[in-house]
Amino acid sequence: MGRKILTEHINVPGIQGYEVYRQHGGYRSVEKALKMTPNDIVEEVKKSGLRGRGGAGFPTGMKWSFIDKKSGRPRHLVCNADESEPGTFKDRYMMEKIPHLLVEGMITSSIALEANLSYIYIRGEYMWVYRILERAINEAYAKGWLGKNIQGSGYDLDLYVTCGAGAYICGEETALIESLEGKRGNPRIKPPFPAVVGLYGNPTVVNNVETIMDIPWIVMNGGDEFAKIGIGKSTGTKLISASGHIRKPGVYEIDLSISVEEFVMSDEYLGGMYSDRPLKACVPGGSSVPILPAELLFKTAKGEQRMMTYESMSDGGFATGSMIGSGGFIIYDDTTCVVRNTWNFSRFYHHESCGQCSPCREGTGWMEKILYRLEHGYGSQEDIDLLWDIQRKIEGNTICPLGDAAAWPVAAAIRHFRHEFEYHVRYPEKIKDRKHFEYEPWEKVKHLMGTKEAVAV
């Protein structure tokens, strides 16, 4: 049984409301932080080794220390609650169940950053969660945790929640800032980075919900204590939202030290495969990260046990590894068609591209169209190579990482499942029904393709 830093009180009845939350130790980190110097708090966070939980895994303490405090311009903290990465639903779970933890984290973090105006930006589809947060913030104002002269400390902080309206790209931090300013969610050209020129041109830090929620515990218990959990540079606990063909989908808080096998198979966590079919593949960190075939999931290419840590998950690079990303853990069994699934992801990125830069605007649509053709039996061998070439030309050449995020799943699918693409090309009549692998999983038809299982790229 792992440590519960974030979810310890999650099932306490009434924890959504202020009173119960306070009785369970709520807002104590604010009291403590107000007595510390901002730099001490930043130091604790640095010591904790906490890495951003939004996807990129950038060390939070370091990010905080980049914020420009010298210019004297107002500073802002913005919480990224846009959570739209397919497979990811941990932030919503936390905000819905224990909204005050986010409010508390926002206050404590704002103290560290010496920000006096902070925002929570939540995706528009979570409208009811928006209302929950709004209520929590109002309660915090009423109890003197927000507003002027917080708890008599002389420190002022205003915190508001604001929302998006259906655009995955607004999760990218500069697009989020644009959207928060009431504009289209077009990512900005970097540099300058938000730490120097962010919201309203002021120095700004953008952090994920989970990252912010970790801060109260770190302030209360010290960074060293947090760093004791986990392995190496993967410290603390992490929320994983699990979905797909597993017995127990949902949000789990895990120590960053358990093995993938334990996580998937044990009853404490995912409880193994839904309807007991064989595992085929896993997307371990949200739709953007490379898909891993079953044989590379529990063991790395070197034959070592794969762990739920940043390092182990990416062991082998993109050739044989993946990423822990946002913690959106999707399991697929043998009824899944990888081609169809890749087309599905491509459709998502095509739909969500902001359209500013040419490789992503044109490339995502092109890839989707080719994948549509392949999936529906109208593809050719050349199409597979063409797809490979297109993703290669998008990756790394765009303004923001959405281009990479669109390219990686396609690359990984071709890398590990080229045989399925070829099956679609060679047996178009067999794949006409979208459930073809439910009737005849790959294992049953692979003899049609000769003995060679995979063609390396």
Partner 1 sequence: MPKVTIDGVSIEVEAGTTILNAARQIGGDLVPPAMCYYSKLKGSGGKCRVCLVEISKGSEANPNPMPKLQASCCTPIADGMEVKNMTSQKVQDMRKGVVEFLLINHPLDCPICDQAGECDLQNLGFDYGAQTTRYQEGRRTFDRIDIGDKIQLHMNRCILCYRCTYVADQLTPHRDHGVLNRGDASEISTYISHAIDNDFSGNMIDVCPVGALTDKTFRFKSRVWFLKPYRAHRQCSHEKCNGQVDVWMFGNEIYRVTARKDDYHEVESFICNECRFDHKNNADWTIEGPRKLEKWSVINQGKYMKRTAEVNIDTEKALLLGRNEDRKRLSMVAPEEAKKK
Partner 2 sequence: MALAEVKPEQVVFSEKLMKRIEELKSHFPDGKKKSALITVLHEVQDEHQDWLSVPVMDKVAEVLGIKPIEVYEVVTFYSMYNQKPVGKYVFEFCRTSCCATRGVEDLMEYTCQKLGVGMNEVTPDGMFQVKGVECLGACGYAPMLQLGDFYHEFLTKEKMDALIEDCRAGKVEKLSKV
Ligand X SMILES: Cc1cc2nc3c(=O)[nH]c(=O)nc-3n(C[C@H](O)[C@H](O)[C@H](O)COP(=O)(O)O)c2cc1C
Which range in 236-244, 352-360, 423-431, 442-450 contacts ligand SF4 by CB under 6 A?
352-360
> Which of ligand SF4, partner 2, ligand X, none has residue 87 at its interface (CB below 5 to 8 Å by kind)?
partner 2
- Residue 98 sits at the vertex; the CA angle it makes with 92 and 100, to the nearest 5 degrees, is 115
Which range in 211-219, 255-263, 330-338, 411-419 contacts partner 2 by CB under 8 A?
330-338
- What b/e string do you get for 45-70 counting C-beta neighbours within 10 Å, with b at 16 or more? bbbbbbbbbbbebebbbebbbebbee
Q: In the complex, what is the shortest distance from the CB of residue 403 to ligand SF4, in angstroms, rounded to a whole number? A: 4
Q: Which of residues 351-380 bind partner 1 (CB under 8 A)?
A: 351-359, 361-366, 369
Q: Which of 105, 101, 40, 109 is nearest to 76 (CA)?
A: 109
- The yes or no reply on residue 168 touching partner 2 (CB under 8 A) is yes
Identified binder of ligand X from the candidate list 53, 92, 97, 350, rule CB under 6 A: 53
Contacts with 151 (C-beta within 8 Å, 6 or more apart), sequence order:
30, 31, 34, 144, 145
Q: Which helix (H) or strand (E) holds 207?
A: strand 204-208
Q: In the complex, what is the shortest distance from the CB of residue 270 to partner 2, in angstroms, rounded to a whole number? A: 10
Q: Residue 419: exposed, middle, or buried by beta-carbon count in 10 A (0-12, 13-18, 19+)?
A: middle
Binding mask 88-107 for partner 2 (x = CB under 8 A): xx-xx---------------
- The yes or no reply on residue 199 touching ligand SF4 (CB under 6 A) is no
- The yes or no reply on residue 398 touching ligand SF4 (CB under 6 A) is yes
Within 219-302, strands assigned E span: 230-231, 234-235, 237-244, 250-255, 279-283, 292-293
Contacts with 113 (C-beta within 8 Å, 6 or more apart), sequence order:
38, 64, 67, 75, 77, 205
141 versus 193: smaller Cβ distance to ligand SF4: 193
Rg (CA), the chain: 23
CA atoms of 179 and 182, how far apart (whole Å): 5
> Which of ligand SF4, partner 2, ligand X, none has residue 399 at its interface (CB below 5 to 8 Å by kind)?
ligand SF4
- Whether the CB-CB separation of 26 and 100 falls below 8 Å is answered with yes
Q: Quick check: helix, strand or coil at residue 48?
A: helix
User: Quick one: tokens of 173?
Assistant: 């931090």
- The yes or no reply on residue 4 touching partner 2 (CB under 8 A) is no
- The yes or no reply on residue 314 touching ligand X (CB under 6 A) is no
Which range in 148-156, 259-267, 395-403, 412-420 contacts partner 1 by CB under 8 A?
395-403
Identified binder of ligand X from the candidate list 208, 312, 336, 356, rule CB under 6 A: 208
- The yes or no reply on residue 268 touching partner 2 (CB under 8 A) is no
Binding mask 46-85 for partner 2 (x = CB under 8 A): -------------------------------------xxx
Cβ atoms within 10 Å, residue 161: 24
> Which of ligand SF4, partner 2, ligand X, none has residue 89 at its interface (CB below 5 to 8 Å by kind)?
partner 2
Contacts with 387 (C-beta within 8 Å, 6 or more apart), sequence order:
367, 370, 371, 374, 410, 414
Binding mask 150-189 for ligand SF4 (x = CB under 6 A): -------------------x-----------------x--
Which amino acid type is present at position 323?
A: M
User: Quick one: tokens of 181?
Assistant: 């300013």
CA atoms of 159 and 171, how far apart (whole Å): 19
Cβ atoms within 10 Å, residue 317: 10
- The yes or no reply on residue 353 touching ligand SF4 (CB under 6 A) is yes
User: Quick one: tokens of 214?
Assistant: 């970790």
- The yes or no reply on residue 214 touching ligand X (CB under 6 A) is no
Give the pairing type, strands 117-122 and 76-81. parallel
What are the residues binding partner 2 (CB under 8 A)? 83-89, 91-92, 117, 123-128, 130-131, 134, 158, 160, 162-168, 179-185, 200, 241-245, 249-251, 283, 287, 328, 330, 332, 336, 340-341, 344-345, 348, 351-352, 354, 434
What are the residues binding ligand X (CB under 6 A)? 52-56, 58, 60, 63, 80, 82-85, 169, 171-173, 206-208, 211, 400-402, 405
What are the residues binding ligand SF4 (CB under 6 A)? 169, 187, 353-357, 360-361, 398-400, 402-403
What are the residues binding partner 1 (CB under 8 A)? 167, 184, 189, 350-359, 361-366, 369, 386, 393, 396-399
